[in-house]
Structure 1
């Protein structure tokens, strides 16, 4: 007991006299004393009670908004009266239904990452997109390349052509001329909007055919029928044989006058002129301009001069063998305009 009282006194005296050295000595001396003396356990200090956390207003609001606890279900009739079945406690609520666990997340495909914008609004992970087929295509054959180069034919309905504006011809409607109206002709400056192709005329009660079809306009067709009718009446009266056919030459042709390299366009270019080379009578005789113009007093010469004179009353231009050498073998007749009022006539 005295030893225990003396040791602390000596230790305090040593520390006061030599503070620096006493610190090292005290540490070693204290370890020595602890080894000699029996160890005593320090009394256990009481722990402070935990302070309850202040209630959260959001939790209280959520608790108020939560659904009230379910009421206990009523006891079935006759159950538990004889002690055969256990009674259901009244204070315990109905057990909550089992909650299905969410499916495990689908891992992203290797080498691909999902953007935040691609994820669902509620956090749903979208399924991986299918990879496009990047297998190399076989080289195209030359025939396939040519087929791709050619434009495909339109598969839609065929476009309806626009309306063609033409003028009806009274001579064709009345049957004075035999033929049909054809599509408009357009060849540069030449052309005709309502051309006719006629093959005969009906005059004096019979039909007179042409040696070749004539492409002309309506005005020329009517004038031609009237003129052939006069020649037919003269032949029937003087030569005692009507005209059976008309020898026709050039009708529609886009060229200059006299086929020159320059100058005015001929009336042939507008389907407004016709060349006539002669007539064939019903008795089989032929009268040609080139061979029968002379002698003038012969029956054939008189018929050709009568035909020339009658044409001057029907057409605005009549050229024959006496006009120039270019017309020594035919009559040229047209309805070209001469003079400022288109009423002048040329008859040669």
Structure 2
């Protein structure tokens, strides 16, 4: 038996050597299998199987969010690029995309309703509180500042009184005048005559510069009277001198120059012979000696006074000549 085994082993070795030259890995497997079949080579030990790992629980699948459907882009071409196409109105808006099926329609906004209009013969309802809004009422302008009173220094006052004496003016000082509504005359004078034999009837209450201007103008009146009527003036009829009131007596108006004794109204001129010169009566005459005299003395007044108003200026001065020495910027004068 041993000899047979040796022979078989030698045969296997020779066969294995022959196969080895052709396929080394395959020869080793064949020789080992034959050896195991003949009991010359111990059988292979069974390979241990690796323990199976427990399967992980399946992850829940999350559906990806559906991407919104692409919206059509508005045309970038302008109406000007399309010949003949109408231009869109400013209030036109593009059409809304269609609502998806199954959804309730969005509520439509109600148009704003106009407030009810009052019926014919009825006034519109006043707002709450019974007061109208301030925006509907024009804001009244602030009251104009009153004219400043005529204030002279001691030297100016003495020089003015000296000039009045040289002109033959009869005047006496009065106590200062102070009123509650802005009228103020620190140094008033009562003037009875402007010299050259011309009286003031009644006497005028005025300030020294105004009395001097009256005296100078009275000499021009005398020259025009001699040229027109061959007579001299006897007196000047005074309508108003100092009077604390607004202009033209209108409430809310600026304080008149009469309120500071800086204005005098001449109603007429009395001549030594012949008819009296009445400003209101002469205003209706177009030509003639009296009308020419009236225009001449009025023009001469514009030389001595800064304001001259009379018939034709406005209804408030149809009956007299208003003369004053109002102070304005850049020496501005009003001669109407």
Q: What is the TM-score of this pair, normalised by structure 1? A: 0.50
Cα distance in 1 between the residues matched to 2:226 and 2:240:
27
CA-based RMSD of the aligned residues comes to: 1.5
Is 1:249 aligned with 2:239? yes
SS in 2 for 1:313: helix
Q: How does 1:1-348 map to 2 (within 5 A)?
A: 167-168=157-158, 169-188=161-180, 189-203=182-196, 207-338=197-328, 340-341=329-330, 343-348=331-336
CA distance in 1, matches of 2:312, 2:290: 16
What runs of 5+ residues in structure 2 fail to find an aligned partner? Answer: 1-152
Per the alignment, do residues 304 and 195 of structure 1 end up closer, same or farther by CA in structure 2, a change over 3 Å counting? same
How many Å apart are 1:284 and its aligned residue?
4.0
Alignment: residue pair count: 179
**8 Å Cα contact 1:293-1:300 kept in structure 2:** no
CA apart distance, 1:234: 1.0
Residue 247 of structure 1 aligns to a residue whose secondary structure is strand
Greater CA drift, 323-332 or 257-266: 257-266
SS of residue in 2 equivalent to 1:241: coil
Match of 1:263, SS state, is coil
Cα drift, residue 175 of structure 1: 4.8
Equivalent pair of 1:201/1:225 in contact (CA under 8 Å): yes
In the alignment, the residues of structure 2 paired with residue 171 and residue 187 of structure 1 have an alpha-carbon distance, to the nearest angstrom, of: 29
Deviation at 1:185, TM superposition (A): 1.0
Write the deviation string for residues 250-298 of structure 1: whole angstroms up to 9, x where unpaired: 0001111111111210000000000001111111420101011232312
Residues 172 and 180 in structure 1, CA contact (< 8 A), matched pair in contact too? no
- Aligned equivalent of 1:92: none
Higher RCO (Cα < 8 Å, 6 or more apart): 2
Give unpaired runs (5+ residues) of structure 1. 1-164
Q: Deviations over 1:299-334 (max 9, x none)?
A: 111111111101111100000101001100000000
